[in-house]
Amino acid sequence: MEYTIREIQKQEYPLLDNFLYEAIFIPEGIEPPPKSIISSPELQIYVKHFGESKDDWGLVAEVGGKIVGAVWVRIMNDYGHIDDETPSLAISLYKKYRGFGIGTAMMKEILTLLKSHGYSRV
């Protein structure tokens, strides 16, 4: 499958809500939660006001001109918070596009981007 990975554009930030929902782990046989779950404060921390901090970075994957995945980082007080210099990472792909190496490629690209901006860990 051919795809491209590029920086997310400001007008695309609202798509992070969709990818946040897609990133929720749902065990087999369990009914998915309603999409409104992403409105909860503990999940909104991943997307609310994205792009307003110097530590907000994101990439998207496109297939045939359609955005099918996103990886983004920000420094936030989330479950995996380490310190105020280490960004937390979120990654998500629509189910149809999983298993083609797109997620791995997005991870490599975001790590390269972060390293080029002086982050020593994520």
Helix (H) or strand (E) holding 67: strand 66-74
User: Could you tell me the two tokens for 11?
Assistant: 């007008």
Chain mean pLDDT for the chain: 95
**pLDDT value at residue 66:** 97
**pLDDT value at residue 80:** 81
Beta bridge partners of 7: 59
Q: Which domains are present in the chain?
A: 4-116 (3.40.630.30)
Q: What average pLDDT values come out for the chain (122 residues) when binned by 10 residues?
A: 97 97 93 95 95 97 97 91 92 96 98 96 92
